[in-house]
Structure 1
Amino acid sequence: MATTQQRQTQQQASSSRRRPARAVAALAAAALLAGTTAVTAFRVADADGPTPVPQLLAFLPWLAVPAGLGLLGALLARRRVLAVWGAALVALLAWYTVPRGGDHDPAGSPVADLRVLTANLQFGQAVGPLVDLVRQERPDLVFVQECDPACMDALTSRLTATHPHRRAVAGGGPVGSVIHSRLPLTAAAGVPASMGQPGAVIEVAGHQVRLQLAHPSPPIPERLTTWRAELEDLRHWAGERAAAGNAEAVAEDTPVILAGDFNASRDHAAFRRLLDDGGLNDAAALAGAARRATWPVTGAPAPGVQIDHVLVSPAFTARDARFPAMEGSDHRAVLVTLTLHR
């Protein structure tokens, strides 16, 4: 009898100790799930929301970590409602994270290939690695962001033999941008922005192709309005297939390559509107690399996001997307082979 009573007493004591632990686990799970749900709700609503939502939406796939921890806490706490909430949230995040866009098949026959490289040099600090990359990979077009005057001079002198044609917007710090090309460039008005966004036209096997470099403002709290406006301007430009109403505008159905550091991922509503309303495809997605991170490159394992893109009109297919690191820059370059179709 005494043994039975002792066992019952021990069980009651153990149960009493578990109750506070489960309560703490349930509270922590609810907090994690609530915070993650609040951000994910803006993705569901197709909106970017106020700070800090746009900054967190960039890392939407990584929200599966707090959501998964919330689910684990709910299971440990034996809270059925929390567990169902956590499972549904993890499933929703997984659905949004699954890469899409690799089944594009233009009806026209292939005309020519173009190798396109876009690179953010972080205030011109990665000039040498970019030059080495260009000489090694031999892209036809090179879109460069954050290239200050010294960077411009270095690229002009070191790429003259292979990429003598250029269109640039000069500026210090992150403002300067340039397009270098193996093929002749015709002037075209770029899309105005707080950082340089030059434009041009090239001819590929008798077909005109409109080029536009993209570098809208980053979505930091004090520049969030500018970020939205400059992505909207790019969306408007892409929808018109013209150089912002300028007399240099090319024909509406001219194929387009819009490349650069967009400071936005596919989880931002503003970027999705640019794709949809502009009738554009992400070349990395077409090549099966929609979620490969391009920023930040810190040298240590860290959550990353793809904010550098090569966007193309439906006349293009894409393959062989690669993301080389460049010493001195916190961005990876994007290198992709495009095929222009009739």
Structure 2
Amino acid sequence: MDRAPAAATDGAPDAATAPPPPVPVRPGLRTRAAAWAAGALLAVPAAVAGCRALDADGVTPLPQLLSFLPWLTVPAGLGLLLAAVARRRGLAFLAVLVLAGTAWASLPYTPPLAVTYGDPVARIRVIASNVEYGQGTGSLIDLALREKPQLLYVSECDPACGRALAAALSRQLPHRVSVDAEGSSGSVILSAYPLRDRSAVPAAMGMPGATAQIAGRAVRLQLAHPLPPVPGQVGLWKSELARLRAAVEARPAGETLLLAGDFNASQDHAAFRALSSGRTLLDAARATGSSRAPTWPAEGPLPPYVQIDHVLTTPDLTAVATRFLPVPGSDHRAVLADLDLQDER
């Protein structure tokens, strides 16, 4: 009896016993979560750095977030780390761009090129301080008696604050111009020099101005205190900064100007840069290498993180030193600037 021929074997496994094909590996839950978290962390820094690059303030919440610009390098860095964990090359490349853009925009502003306007004819010390509804009045009086400024710009100074400053500093700063109002609407400039041509820029909060005669030169003094860019009044904030800019541009040609106060805006805001751009006005802090020194908030759980108090001058007032000083009772640090008034060439 013939036997059936044996099945040929060539070493290949039988179809019935062959292992199943490998199942495609899909990204795990943690990987997907890391990618989504990276995207969420990168969204805000990307939007804010984009506004800064485009020289725009945008709409709420971008004007508010621009105040945090240097701090947004933290979520941008975390976003890059999570993109690497997720192994998403495209996302990681985007994260690198966002982090680089945010870090670049956060660098301190470099001092402007020095321009010589002549020899100094007077050294002027100015202090600009927001006393928060008058609560820092006593501290500011102590500061003024110690530092002896020739000009004192005070925001949120109600009538009681104005009377206290006038009484305590009458011998040191006998001249004044003010907007007398309650709460945050009152403001005053105290001066060691006689004042004339008193006026005020129209605004919700007081922005008085006057002309002082210093070393034979007419110097226009103007206090700045536009509304803050809180949600619902960003348009008003921009319009009041624009009014300040219009006042600057409308002054007589060649007139020396000293514009100081609480601008409720940092150098990262386009509306502020439009006011101080070019050679029209120079920021004393920037000129002395302190453009990122924060002045607000000086109270509360957070340390100060943004500079919104400034001293701006025309180029014939040269900043030689700038300091930022605490005013207990106020949520702002005061700005003290020493300025050299140059003679006319």
**Fold similarity call, TM over 0.5:** yes
Distance 1:214 1:185, change over 3 A: same
The residue correspondences of 1:88-127 to structure 2 (distance < 5 A) are: 88-107=97-116, 108-127=118-137
Listed as ranges, the matches of 1:310-325 within 5 Å are 310-325=311-326
The partner residue of 1:135 within 141, 145, 154 is 145
Q: Which residue of 2 aligns with 1:237?
A: 247
Q: Match of 2:78? A: 69
Q: 1:84 aligns to what?
A: 93
The answer to whether the 8 A contact 1:235-1:277 is kept is no
3-state secondary structure, aligned to 2:325? coil
* Contact 1:104–1:317 (8 Å) recurs in 2: no
Q: Which residue of 2 aligns with 1:333?
A: 334
Cα separation, 2, equivalents of 1:34 and 1:150: 47
Using the TM superposition, give the Cα deviation of residue 226 of structure 1 relative to its aligned residue in structure 2, in angstroms. Answer: 1.1
The separation in 2 between residues aligned to 1:127 and 1:303, in whole angstroms, is 20
Evaluate the alpha carbon distance shift between residue 150 and residue 17 of structure 1 in structure 2; reply closer, same or farther with a 3 A threshold: farther
* Whole-Å separation in 2 of the counterparts to 1:298 and 1:22: 41
Gaps of 5+ in 1: 1-11, 243-250
Aligned in 2, Cα 1:318/1:104: closer, same or farther, shift over 3 Å?
farther
Verify: 1:53 aligned to 2:29, yes or no.
no
Q: 2:172 aligns with which of 145, 162, 166?
A: 162
Note the C-alpha offset of 1:109.
2.1
Match of 1:260?
Answer: 261
Offset at 1:277? 6.7
TM-score by length of 1: 0.89
How large is the RMSD of aligned CA atoms in angstroms? 1.9
Distance in 2, Cα, partners of 1:38 & 1:287:
30
Shift in CA distance, 299/319, structure 1 to aligned 2, threshold 3 Å: farther
> d(CA) in 2 for partners of 1:316 and 1:161?
25
Contact 2:177/2:209 (8 A) holds in 1: yes
The SS at the match of 2:237 is helix
Following the alignment from structure 1 to structure 2, what is the Cα–Cα distance between the partners of residues 114 and 17? 70
CA distance in 1, matches of 2:246, 2:198: 16
What's 1:269 paired with?
270
Cα pair 1:116 1:335 within 8 Å, conserved: yes
Q: 1:151 to 1:17 in 2, by over 3 A?
A: farther
> Shift in Å at residue 61 of structure 1?
1.1
Q: Any unmatched runs of 5+ in structure 2? A: 1-21
Give the conservation status (yes or no) of the 8 Å contact 1:62–1:303: no
Query: Counterparts of 1:231 and 1:277 in 2: how far apart (Å)?
Result: 16
Partner residue in 1 for 2:6: none
Deviations 1:65-98 (A, max 9, x none): 1111111111222222222212221211222122
Partner of 2:36: 27
Looking at structure 1, the residues matched to 230 and 301 of structure 2 have their Cα atoms a distance apart, in angstroms, of: 23
Tell me if the contact between 2:49 and 2:105 (Cα under 8 Å) persists in the aligned partners. no
2:279 and 2:315 in contact (8 A); partners too: no
What is the aligned-residue identity percentage? Answer: 50
Instruction: Give the C-alpha shift of residue 159 in structure 1.
Output: 0.9
**Structure 1 residues 213-224: aligned runs within 5 Å:** 213-224=223-234
- What do the CA deviations read for 1:296-322 (whole angstroms, capped 9, x no partner)? 112544361000000111112212211
CA distance in 2, matches of 1:23, 1:29: 10
Whole-angstrom distance in 1 between the partners of 2:279 and 2:253: 11
| Contact 1:126 1:326 survives alignment (8 Å) | yes
Offset at residue 272 of structure 1 (A): 0.6
Confirm or deny: 8 A CA contact 2:126 2:150 kept in the other structure.
yes
| 2:220 aligned partner | 210
| CA 1:46–1:103: 2 relative to 1, 3 Å | closer
Bigger share in helix: 1
Q: Separation in 2 of the partners of 1:64 and 1:87?
A: 11
Bigger-Rg structure (1/2): 2
Question: For the residues of structure 1 that align with 2:59 and 2:279, how far apart are their CA atoms?
Answer: 25
**Corresponding residue for 1:281?**
282
